[in-house]
Amino acid sequence: MTVDDTVRTGDDRSALRIELDRHGDQYRTEFQRLSDELHATKPIAWNDTHGGYWFVSGNQELFDTARRADVLSNDDDPYGERKGYTGISIPSPPIEVRQRMAGGPGALGGQFLGMDPPAQRHYRNALNPYLSPAAVARWQPVIDEITRAALDEVIETGRIDFVDHLANVVPAVLTMAMLGFPMNDYETYVEPIHAAVYTKPGTPEMERINAQQIEMGMRSFGYISDIRTNPRPGLVNALINAEITGRKPSDMDILGTVGLLLGGGFDTTTALTAHALEWLSENPGQRARLIAEWDELRDSATEEFLRYYTPAPGDGRTVAMDAEIHGVQFKEGDRLWLSWAMANRDEKVFENPHEVQLDRKGNRHASFGLGVHRCIGSNVARATFKTMLKAVLDRMPDFVCDPDGAVHYDTVGVINGLKHLPATFTPGPRLGAGLVETIDRLQEVVDEQRLAEPVTVKKEAARLSE
């Protein structure tokens, strides 16, 4: 990245110009230096990469910008039916991908993160009863049991890949159950979802991943159609019965939202868990402290790992009207990036921002976003992360990650995660059935107890029997 020292004046982009490829290696390897440099010189900058867009990194600047729903639009309009805006990804996916996810001309669209109110609000209202703290608490016995079974698969060997054997598994199985999809089909989705975010855009490998995504979409489309014909509780059933701006969503509309829920449910919690475990391996004294003071540090440590590692580093927007924010003139049609990750490292808000402090107080991070588009799955993420972390600390307290075997994502422009994180530990005893048998048993529990009903219908937690 290059930053000049010109004074910021009006809408003169040359005075704010930087060149920072968020999908490049420098963004990942020099993130701390880049954050400090931008915060000190250009907390709002004009980034000349990927067609040019505003880059908001300062914490206060981001807070004040992200909450301007009148100025910023998430709308993805690949058929040019409104203003032709291009959604939240910078660079935007190929037009054929965007059109496929939009469901065709005239459709309601399904990626509600790529919508503006009122349609976006209607989607969220339909899903909120399934994702509130009380609703997620009903799933806690299921989360516990999936986590137990995943660790039992490797506990006697003394070896684990925390990504492959744990962090990829638990969020995926849970997400499938909450959707109303077959829990044992989670493996069909895991690799295409992760690869779509760690593969650099515009590469031949991404073309192969796009093909896998189409196959995955067809599988989901079949499940959606089956749930419409043979209703069963879950997020998909909620979408089928939702009313979005006076209309019922089609199967293609629902497919878009399912894609969003799968991506958010699978990859972000996976990334957070892997990074936290890697850090705890590198800091055994802090790991011992977390084990000893779990009840006191559980929540603050969770928020600190969220702040420091920010699984989803940012989101794009389109400027929907001319406006001035923090002295910068934005023009209608400009593209803009909200860097949650860099805002979380602003020393004006966070003391020693590049250090993990397990007991950090007043941690007002932006890792779940801000404003009307704040992450709808934050309660699920927190519960799943805490469960997996506690289980590892209880059953593998002396784990040591292999730094040579750790493989970080090629690009962290979309998700800041790891492909692999191998570790060794002192072997321990199994506590129950293996993963396949456990998932089959849990599927019976989910079906018989109608666990995927909204909290407004069912408040009781899952009852598991041996």
Q: Is the pLDDT of residue 18 over 70?
A: yes
Task: Check pLDDT > 50 for residue 222.
Answer: yes
Rounded mean pLDDT, 359-380: 94
Contacts 24+ apart (CB under 8 A), 242-249: 242/122, 242/123, 242/125, 242/126, 243/122, 244/108, 244/119, 244/122, 244/123, 244/126, 245/108, 245/118, 245/119, 245/122, 247/108, 249/108, 249/110
Give the residue-averaged pLDDT of 236-241. 96
Alpha-carbon gap, residue 236 to 78, rounded angstroms:
24
pLDDT, tens digit, 9 for 90 and up, residues 250-274 = 998 898 899 889 888 888 999 999 9
pLDDT of 94: 83
Mean pLDDT for the stretch of residues 148-168? 97
Contacting residues for 28 by C-beta, under 8 A, at least 6 apart = 408, 409, 411, 412
Instruction: Identify the band that residue 13 occupies on the pLDDT scale cut at 50, 70 and 90.
Output: confident
* Selected residue with higher pLDDT from 157 and 190: 157
Residue with the larger pLDDT of the pair 107 and 273: 273
Q: What is the per-residue pLDDT for 200?
A: 77
> ∠ CA(219), CA(223), CA(224), 5° rounding?
115
Q: Which of 154, 178, 163 lies closest to 435 in space, CA to CA? A: 154
Q: What is the pLDDT of residue 203?
A: 80
pLDDT at 213 over 90: no
Residue 215 reports pLDDT greater than 90: no
Q: 137 and 461 in contact (C-beta within 8 Å)? A: yes
pLDDT for the residue 407: 94
Provide the pLDDT for residue 229.
96
Model pLDDT, residue 358: 98
The proportion of the chain whose per-residue pLDDT surpasses 90, expressed as a percent, equals 74
φ and ψ at residue 179, rounded to 5 degrees: -70, -30
Share of the chain above pLDDT 70, in %: 96
The pLDDT tens digits for 382-429 are: 999 999 999 999 999 999 999 999 999 888 888 999 999 999 999 999
- Report pLDDT for 466: 56
Work out the average pLDDT over 35-61: 96
> Residue 24 corresponds to which tokens in the numbers above?
């490049």
pLDDT above 50 for 7: no
Q: pLDDT-derived band of residue 459, with 50, 70 and 90 as boundaries?
A: confident
Which of 211-225, 310-324, 343-357 comes out lowest in average pLDDT? 211-225
The predicted pLDDT at position 5 comes to 38
Inform me whether the pLDDT recorded for 334 exceeds 90.
Answer: yes
Contacts of 304 (CB under 8 A, 6+ apart): 356, 357, 358, 360, 363
Q: Averaged over 315-341, what is the pLDDT?
A: 96
Q: Is 50 exceeded by the pLDDT of residue 161?
A: yes
Q: Give me 328's structure tokens.
A: 């910068």
Average pLDDT over residues 56-73: 96
Highest mean pLDDT among 85-94, 402-411, 432-441: 432-441
- Chain-wide mean pLDDT for the chain? 92
Q: Is the pLDDT of residue 2 over 70?
A: no
The model's confidence at residue 6, banded by pLDDT at 50, 70 and 90, is very low
How confident is the model over 116-144, as pLDDT tens digits? 999 999 999 999 999 999 999 999 999 99
Residue range 47-68: mean pLDDT, rounded = 96
Q: Specify the higher pLDDT residue, 105 or 120.
A: 120
Residue 3: band (very low, low, confident or very high) from pLDDT cuts 50, 70, 90: very low
Distance (Å, whole) CA 384 – CA 372: 24
49 versus 211: the higher-pLDDT residue is 49
Enumerate the β-bridge partners of residue 344.
Answer: none
